[in-house]
Structure 1
Amino acid sequence: MVTAITDGVKISVETIYQDEHSKPANEHFMFAYRIEVENMSDHAIQLMRRKWFIFDSNGTVREVEGEGVVGIQPVIESGENYAYVSGCNLKTDMGSMRGNYTMHNLVLETSFKVEIPEFQLIVPYRLN
């Protein structure tokens, strides 16, 4: 698990290789990741946008951005957390992701960016 804290918002990421959804012979490696967003600040926040940088070990870099996560823009009260699971496919058996969330402070009416720490996407057999 990797973790980062930005402006009182803690992001923790775990990854799982999805063997049953992967087809290595077709250069299709599927990974799931679980992200927990913990609001350690004094104010309620809302996750408005996400931006991802996805790196394949063949040098390919993709950027993905959009509103919210998994179709919603969750409000996270002070002291609470929000978790979700999503996925990413790679053309190689190793890669990584990193990015940021745009959050909105619902009390101060300000927006700020929160770092999503870089995490590795590695097929288990590559770890031996």
Structure 2
Amino acid sequence: MRRKPYELKVDVKAIYLREHSQPDADQYTFAYTVTMENTGTVPAKLLGRRWIITDANGKTVEVVGEGVVGEHPYLRPGEAFEYTSAATIATPVGSMHGSYQLIADDGMPFEAPIAAFSLAIPRRLH
């Protein structure tokens, strides 16, 4: 199978941060670790991100910004970058999804989707 020139594989794992949460104040904090890998054939630099964060009440927050954790990783084909960040929502269960905006070495801008993943305190989802 032929690889696409512009492709970023994104994997996300989220965990509940009990010590940073305040359930009595409707604040549930989750850390999420993202691993992104350039599975394309052209080197690319991450320019920005867009997250859609939704809680169980249907409240949605959009977060748009440059880079990730203050960095603009440059990934050659086969290279990966990992970072950890956090989000706080008002319910014990929610979800996140979004996209990364990148520019390839040949000047072609492209977007990499971030599939939806759950934010859930332990034993809340079956």
Class of the TM-score when normalised by the shorter of the 2 chains: over 0.9
Could you tell me which residue of structure 2 aligns to residue 3 of structure 1?
none
**Which residue in 2 is equivalent to 1:69?**
68
* Correspondence 1:31 to 2:34: no
The offset of 1:127, in angstroms, is 2.8
Gaps of 5+ in 1: 1-6
What are the residue-to-residue correspondences of 1:52-67 with 2, within 5 Å? 52-67=51-66
Give the superposition deviation at 1:43: 1.2
Corresponding residue number in structure 1 for 2:102: 103
Cα distance in 2, alignment partners of residues 8 and 125 from structure 1: 35
The 2-side partners of 1:43 and 1:123 are apart by 39
Equivalent in the alignment of 1:41: 40
TM-score (norm 2): 0.93
- Identify the match of residue 124 of structure 1 among 118, 122, 125: 122
Deviations along 1:96-118, whole A, 9 cap, x unmatched?
Answer: 00000001101x11101100010
Structure 1 stretches of at least 4 aligned residues deviating more than 4 Å after TM superposition: none
Cα distance in structure 2, aligned partners of 1:102 and 1:23: 33
Amino acid at match of 1:37: M
Q: Helix, strand or coil: the match of 1:126?
A: coil
Any unmatched runs of 5+ in structure 2? Answer: 1-5
Give, in angstroms, the shift of residue 72 of structure 1.
1.0
Identity among equivalent pairs (%)? 38
Aligned to 1:9: 8
